[in-house]
Structure 1
């Protein structure tokens, strides 16, 4: 929306013992298992309307080349071989310190017994970067976000960094260590380098390769480059350092401690920030297969559409905090924000205009008569910078609040001024009964102001509800804006022009009135039965 080039990278790390075990359980080779998983991911991104520039896979041949180059840079000064003995969690794919273990050496994340292992590994000398990392985190307070994550990372670092194993001798499903092929590269060392591999697949200094939700691109490369030719020295031309890594808080240590040290050792700049998002519960309970309450995003998208799903999670859960999903809350939130305050507002306002002046706007939103008729221009113009700042701070819930404040005020204004009353009187005036043309003109200016406010809301919500935003813009005769990505300049008041043709009013977002498609966990509040009223509740985000 700022008009800047963006490289949006997603992907899968596909090596390691856990992947090999999952493949064996399905009777598949690891690569075939990974191919199946990747296909399901790319379909889900497409169904959710998530577009990306590169889908990187750590099983791509080019990635092994990049990993080898990183190892070559750090090998002499920061890698050594030693024996290791400790408790290993296969699910986390890491050794656990005694302080991290639960009773009987259980993993507190997976609630499973850890395995005691002894093996010779290659280690990365993380301790060499103790002071450097401390200094960096102190002088770059925004590097780790949110604040709770930053505090956690600082505590880890200040407790004393311990060297970590970067190879496995007993795991065959991985990238061989170049100088000792009897070992494979530890999955987390391998996976983090995937960020570099991904950018080396984009055109130097250019826009994206355009892989938007389809099959992950393996072959699309700049002219002259082949899968065997990525070079770390080229990273600055391909967009490194990244502006941000968006990750789950459970892998914060790898991204905010191990990864910066690896980059320092390799002589590469660090990303702009690492943002750890929270966890999700369902109906107030942790999700788990044993509870039968794992939330399937595909079921939600199939039932409610991508925009509704995107809106709920972006609107109701502060990014970086833990959040809870219940289908009753989902329906109430989406109905209130998208169906009532926005969809219904647009349809009834357009309907009144069509009924009284036809399919052409009689005046533009930027005209003095419209601008001065209501408080909406000031409300909308104040919301745009608030939304922009919120998106930049990775706080989409606050951006949604800023946008919905405009539609909420537009609804309130209609209730206060009741322009339909003046329009009805004007219709009677034509029969010599009552009302004036001046009253009708004043009512029309209110309706035009409301439509302009709705247009601006569509622009502000476009990163969250792209399909709905485009549908609203088309209803307002803004075909050019609906054809592409709205920009912040589109949020300025006054874009609706006199004479613009308005298509027949349609309901761009219907109110949800259907049975639940997910099941609550055992012991959670039961879903209302068919026909029961579902009371909307305001939930603080």
Structure 2
């Protein structure tokens, strides 16, 4: 049966921090295919969202002194703000903290358990906290004689804990057969081959619960466990469209037509996710496309590396259409590409300002000058005209072919070939010379009509890619309403309204002088530094003490300690009595943090302490060390913690 719906998804992004340009790359690509399918008449569902549970979020929130939900609420607001600034037209934004999602995830877990696909066992193995991923010995890589995660290349830790396991191995042969029988299921081909090799090397059963943190959906049959990310986050593609809650809507859109993901999470979406779906006895998604990374000059963008490019700044500087165009045009979808501000500005100047903007400006100006702004009708044709008309039809067909293959770069290149050919048509016909001869006025009418009609068709074909320029073009061409209502078939020759007025407007894409832009960036940095300095002066921070020698510093033995117990000291409103594990032994500390931290909130935190202080008695309680914390003159305080789990007693050097 022919499906007249189209369901496309992005990954749901992790709200540990704000998003970077790489996340925008994925989401703009999904938005573009959704807009294109809508123009083709499909009932389209476009899903994005946020994956909000897990140990990393729990720790981030604790470090910020906030409840986990409060912490993710603030970060998710920045996600939605970014999508608004990029004109992302998602149909639903799912959050894994939604009550509906949590309830259905528990139902999924229980169903898999009841049918014997989930069992209770014990996990022993390597775990990467930043990626929230378990790894076998053979999957790990080595760096400087340390075992590291094969995805993020950071240190892993050995974990032993009770866990529920999902029988991945039970479905491995069935999945492998599906991938081989449906080559379109995983794209591009190089990634499909990687996944086939991964499965053929053998699949281990998957740990799908945790006991070492609480920020997650409780396992419905065991309160000591929370459901781990694989079932929680991946199930969003089902729960968002009504699985178990709105069956009519679910059946309307499932199976998904396209999961768009970065290549680093392709394995989760092409192995773990399909096996979960098989176990639920549902139809598999039609395609999972693993695109490449948008790299910075220092490699893959990562929040932890601090090498991310902020898309909000770029949008404010260059406009949303310029950013959308650059992301889709610069990097062949499926391969890695490199971001640079220089290449962005070059694209704006050459493609958007010179080719498209200049074509629009020249054409509208000539209609204004030669026909008092009124669009003329076709009068006298020539062979040259038919070449332009034929190329318009050919371009539309070629763009359709490339969009079905998600080759955005090629599709835009086809459109720009037509833009450049239309510019060449101006040079070939020389309207300014035709205007000098009254006998050639009919020919001039046809030439200008053809230029205006080419621009109208270009505007229609750009609607999936750009969200402002097509309508600015429509306004200047006197065709705004037609562009707003245009479906894909409107990109066909002959629909230009004549007898209406064109309107000169401001340049859609002003040229940017590279040196001037970077000079402004430097000025902005200086202003930011001045602002920070003024803020520091305003805060009246304590002056830095006299310098000490390295030897003096090394005399302080700073260790990682885990808080096991905490309670208020009776009679004091600012002191907590802490029992801490420093690896070699357990100790008691007294800390003046009670005004900022509840006793229950600090239990389980890994903090830094000075372990070799002479014992002291504070408020009648013995203290064997001192915790490290930072505070400002306004009374704000944060504890010195570690960025990921490490053995208690580890020394700070």
TM-score by length of 2: 0.70
Change (3 A) 1:422 1:153: same
Deviation at 1:181, TM superposition (A): 1.6
Asked whether 1:189 is paired with 2:203, we answer no
Asked whether 1:100 is paired with 2:130, we answer no
List aligned pairs for 1:168-317, cutoff 5 A. Answer: 168-200=210-242, 230-231=244-245, 233-234=247-248, 236-283=250-297, 285-287=299-301, 293-317=307-331
Deviation digits for residues 137-194 of structure 1, max 9, x if unmatched? 0111100111122111111111111110010011211000111121000112100111
Asked whether 1:497 is paired with 2:497, we answer yes
Q: Distance in 2 between matches of 1:422 and 1:13?
A: 62
List aligned pairs for 1:314-325, cutoff 5 A. Answer: 314-325=328-339
Aligned mate of 1:137, from 176, 179, 184: 179
Is residue 293–residue 300 contact of structure 2 (8 Å, CA) maintained in 1? no
Q: Distance in 2 between matches of 1:286 and 1:119?
A: 32
Q: Distance in 1 between matches of 2:122 and 2:106?
A: 23
**RMSD of aligned alpha carbons:** 2.0
Matched position secondary structure for 2:43:
coil
After alignment, is 503-512 or 396-405 more displaced?
503-512
Which protein, 1 or 2, shows the higher relative CO under an 8 Å CA cutoff with sep ≥ 6? 1
Aligned mate of 1:369, from 356, 377, 381: 381
Asked whether 1:56 is paired with 2:68, we answer no
Deviation at 1:284, TM superposition (A): 6.5
Q: Residue in 2 aligned with 1:400?
A: 412
Matched position secondary structure for 2:338:
strand
Is residue 374–residue 449 contact of structure 1 (8 Å, CA) maintained in 2? no
Is residue 218–residue 227 contact of structure 2 (8 Å, CA) maintained in 1? yes
After alignment, is 509-518 or 33-42 more displaced?
509-518
Matched position secondary structure for 2:230:
helix
Is residue 185–residue 287 contact of structure 2 (8 Å, CA) maintained in 1? yes
Kindly indicate which of the two structures has a greater share of residues assigned to strand: 2
Q: Residue in 2 aligned with 1:448?
A: 449
Matched position secondary structure for 1:399:
helix
Is residue 459–residue 483 contact of structure 2 (8 Å, CA) maintained in 1? no
Is residue 370–residue 449 contact of structure 1 (8 Å, CA) maintained in 2? no
Q: Distance in 1 between matches of 2:222 and 2:240?
A: 26
Deviation digits for residues 385-411 of structure 1, max 9, x if unmatched? 111222222111111111111101011
Q: Distance in 2 between matches of 1:65 and 1:269?
A: 22
Please say which structure displays the higher CA radius of gyration: 2
Q: Distance in 2 between matches of 1:305 and 1:285?
A: 25
Asked whether 1:85 is paired with 2:124, we answer yes
Is residue 109–residue 231 contact of structure 2 (8 Å, CA) maintained in 1? no
After alignment, is 275-284 or 502-511 more displaced?
502-511
Q: Residue in 1 aligned with 2:461?
A: 460
Matched position secondary structure for 1:261:
helix
List aligned pairs for 1:25-174, cutoff 5 A. Answer: 25-75=63-113, 76-103=115-142, 104-174=146-216
Deviation at 1:374, TM superposition (A): 4.9
Q: Which runs of 5+ in 2 are unaligned?
A: 1-38, 523-653
List aligned pairs for 1:337-416, cutoff 5 A. Answer: 337-364=351-378, 369=381, 373-416=385-428
Deviation at 1:506, TM superposition (A): 4.0
Q: Which runs of 5+ in 1 are unaligned?
A: 202-229, 427-436, 520-541
Deviation digits for residues 424-455 of structure 1, max 9, x if unmatched? x23xxxxxxxxxx2323223322221221121
Deviation digits for residues 467-492 of structure 1, max 9, x if unmatched? 101111121111223334x3111110
Matched position secondary structure for 1:360:
coil
Deviation at 1:235, TM superposition (A): 5.5
Deviation at 1:371, TM superposition (A): 8.3
Q: Distance in 1 between matches of 2:295 and 2:251?
A: 41
Is residue 371–residue 377 contact of structure 1 (8 Å, CA) maintained in 2? no
Q: Residue in 2 aligned with 1:487?
A: 487
Q: Distance in 1 between matches of 2:136 and 2:305?
A: 29
Deviation at 1:421, TM superposition (A): 2.0
Is residue 69–residue 232 contact of structure 1 (8 Å, CA) maintained in 2? no
TM-score by length of 1: 0.84
Q: Distance in 1 between matches of 2:181 and 2:303?
A: 43
Q: Distance in 2 between matches of 1:145 and 1:406?
A: 29
Q: Distance in 1 between matches of 2:306 and 2:155?
A: 22
Is residue 105–residue 232 contact of structure 2 (8 Å, CA) maintained in 1? yes
Is residue 370–residue 445 contact of structure 1 (8 Å, CA) maintained in 2? no
Q: Distance in 1 between matches of 2:433 and 2:508?
A: 25
Q: Residue in 2 aligned with 1:221?
A: none
Matched position secondary structure for 1:515:
helix
Deviation at 1:336, TM superposition (A): 1.3
Asked whether 1:336 is paired with 2:337, we answer no
Is residue 148–residue 156 contact of structure 2 (8 Å, CA) maintained in 1? yes
